[in-house]
Amino acid sequence: MITTQTLIDAGIFTLKTQGDPAKSIKKVFCCDLLSIAMGKAPAESAWVTVMGNRNTLAVASLADISCIVLAEGTAFQDAEIECASQEGIAVFATELPIFDAALKIQELLS
Partner 1 sequence: MEEQLIFNYTIPGDDFTRAGEASSSVKNKLKKMGLDSGTIRKVSIAMYEGEINMVIHADGGAITVEISPEKIRMILADTGPGIADIDKAMENGYSTAPEEVRSLGFGAGMGLPNMKKYTDYMNIDSTVGVGTTVTMDVYL
Question: Which residues, numbered 17-36, are part of the site for partner 1 (CB under 8 A)?
Answer: 32-36
Integer Cα distance of 8 and 33 in angstroms: 26
Tell me the pairing of strands 45-49 and 67-70.
Answer: parallel
How large is the angle between the packed helices 54-62 and 78-87, nearest 10 degrees? 10
From 1-9, 11-19, 47-55, 94-102, span contacting partner 1 (CB under 8 A): 47-55
Contact 91, 23 (CB under 8 A): no
77 touches partner 1 by CB under 8 A: no
Q: How far is the CB of 68 from partner 1 (least distance, A)?
A: 13
Q: How far is the CB of 32 from partner 1 (least distance, A)?
A: 7
Integer Cα distance of 11 and 55 in angstroms: 27
Tell me the pairing of strands 24-25 and 14-17.
Answer: unpaired
Question: Which residues, numbered 48-67, are part of the site for partner 1 (CB under 8 A)?
Answer: 51, 53-56, 58-59, 61-64
Give the residue with the Cβ less far from partner 1, 43 or 75.
Answer: 43
Binding site for partner 1 (CB under 8 A): 32-39, 43, 51, 53-56, 58-59, 61-64
